[in-house]
A = this chain, B = another copy of it.
Amino acid sequence: MATNPDPTTNLESTISTGLSITDNDLNDLIKIQGDLVRKLKADKAPSEQITEAVDKLKNLKKELTDRQAANGEESTAGGEKLLKTPRGTRDYHPDQMKIREQVFRIIIDCFKQHGAETIDTPVIELTSLLTEKYGEDSKLIYELKDQGGAEQLALRYDLTVPFARYIAQNRIATMKRYHIGKVYRRDNPKMNRGRYREFYQCDFDIAGDFDLMVPDSECIKIVVEILDKLDLGQYKIFVNHRKLLDAIFAVCGVPDSHFRPISSSVDKLDKTPWSVVRNEMIHEKGLSPEIADKIWSYVQMHGNADLVDKLRTDAQLMALKSASEALNGLEVLFRYLTLYGVMDKIIFDLKLARGLDYYTGVIFEAVLTEYQYDPQLGDDQVAVGSVAGGGRYDELVHKIDPRQRRVPCIGASIGVERIFAIKEHQMAQSKMQTKTIETEVYVASAQKNLIEERMKLCSYLWTNGFKAEMALKRNPKMLDQLQYCEKNQIELCVIIGSAELQAGIVKIRDVQTREEFEIPRGQLVEQLRAYLTKVRQRPQESSSKTNNN
């Protein structure tokens, strides 16, 4: 036990001091304690030690269940009903929607620039389609209650399996498509790091029997273009090949049946120290320490295209046809990525494994340098891990298709929720106020009983294509109307009064400068257009300055 200082103590003392512990913290504690129990059992520790650890685990689980039950009843201690979205989900507020709109716009433009078309598939799929496609993660699939229909239904876990179904069902031979939609995972959410139970995926895939690494290099090129345009700072794209990884496992002596579970363990090495992963390989997945250590000697390796040559000197590895094929493929890929001018972003990294079962070739993952996860810092950092990833999956359509057609595929997925989290963080730090409505002309009046005149004028402006609004009160206060304009950064305000109406004129107010001027009613449309152009050419000042005027 001396070499295993109890990692739960800190959080426990936090609990005892009454500081706020989140459900996520509790889940982490449970995980750590569970690992300890497994280790003690595997090490055949004294039974009282095991019992103590098990009791502690039970208490932690009970604490979590109690909390969740309390939430489930939707009442606070005071008995007041609590309104909330389901665990791991969130509402998007208007300012967040603005960010989402901008991020999607950049990404979709990139996909379209590469000739992609788009499809949509249902959020619900037959459960039978989803089972046995995700390996260890299948337990995270949300299923629907049996309410008397004949179909067993589940919420989609990603957009890739539905895409493979689409390709198979419609007998498609080639397709370049993007798809943006929500997917669902009963995962342990870490919402401040952009990890939700309901989240957007944003996928680009190329299906079809094309030539070696041509679609693969385009997928990686697109990821680079998107990350550059999103302006998220420095990043690296880690690349590996599933066939190479499997060859390494074979060379190390891992039995075939253990390739995918061991691959899952290797996948954790970006966030978990080798000692923990080694432990898992040996005690949970049944490898011998020698095999585990031999794997470690390989998966530590990373570099650039030169690593291909270095691995080619490994006779044991090169004896496997799949290894030399994978290395030939990677050589071509790196050549194409050089032509595409993006090779400086690439790290060939043997510990990149990717979680999902269905990959069969090149795999990749983009990580932002500035927002890399630091295990030391815990949950408070805005660290998002990978912001894009993908890989080749040549067997998925074949596995799904009743006609057993083989349609090789490669795809890239942009981790938009994590990108939203970063953009929201940047926005909060800049203290810029987001303009969430697009109104450009506000119709106001200082006098009573002019609602019908305001309505007629609004209607006239709508007909002429202006984005226009007015107060929805019969007799609104002038101050309220002007404050609304300033708060929402509306460019112009048209002010009407009975004197102006009689004289056939209207007053226009420049909301930012607060200047006012009168124009003939008959010139309203042209004058508003001209003033809007003028106002928009003015150098943008931050809204906080405007508010201090």
A259: interface (CB < 8 Å): no
Interface-centre pick from A114, A128, A143 (highest chain B CB count, 10 A): A114
B402 close to A472 (CB less than 8 A):
no
A86: interface (CB < 8 Å): yes
Known interface pairs A81-B402, A211-B473, A472-B210; A151-B120 also in contact (CB < 8 Å): no
Interface-centre pick from A122, A182, A473 (highest chain B CB count, 10 A): A122
A472 close to B206 (CB less than 8 A):
yes
B218 close to A115 (CB less than 8 A):
no
Residue on B nearest A182 in the bound complex, by CB: B123
Residue on B nearest A467 in the bound complex, by CB: B113
Known interface pairs A85-B122, A473-B214; A113-B149 also in contact (CB < 8 Å): no
A118 to chain B: which residues have CB within 8 Å?
A: 94, 97
A488 to chain B: which residues have CB within 8 Å?
A: 115
A214 close to B126 (CB less than 8 A):
no
| Those of A455-486 within 8 Å (CB) of chain B | 455-456, 459, 462, 465-469, 472-474
A90: interface (CB < 8 Å): yes
B72 close to A150 (CB less than 8 A):
yes
Give the bracket for the number of chain A residues in contact with chain B: 35 or more
A151 to chain B: which residues have CB within 8 Å?
A: 68, 71-72, 86-87
Known interface pairs A151-B68, A472-B206; A89-B122 also in contact (CB < 8 Å): yes
Spot the interface stretch: A7-15, A273-281, A320-328, A432-440: A432-440
A121: interface (CB < 8 Å): yes
| Those of A315-340 within 8 Å (CB) of chain B | 335-336, 339-340
B472 close to A168 (CB less than 8 A):
no
Known interface pairs A86-B125, A119-B91; A459-B165 also in contact (CB < 8 Å): no
A153: interface (CB < 8 Å): yes
Known interface pairs A84-B169, A85-B125, A151-B72; A474-B214 also in contact (CB < 8 Å): yes
A128-168 toward B: CB 8 Å interface, digit per residue (1/0)? 11000000000000111111011111010000000001101
Bound Cα distance from A87 to B153, whole angstroms:
10
Bound Cα distance from A448 to B271, whole angstroms:
46
Residue on B nearest A225 in the bound complex, by CB: B462
Contacts A113-B438, A124-B198 aside, 5 further interface pairs with beta carbons under 8 A come to A71-B151, A83-B400, A115-B467, A144-B155, A215-B472
Residues of A within 8 A of B (CB): 65, 68-69, 71-72, 74, 80-87, 89-94, 97, 100, 112-126, 128-129, 142-147, 149-153, 155, 165-166, 168-170, 176-177, 182, 184, 186, 198, 206, 208, 210-212, 214-215, 217-218, 221, 225, 335-336, 339-341, 400-402, 436-439, 451-452, 455-456, 459, 462, 465-469, 472-474, 488
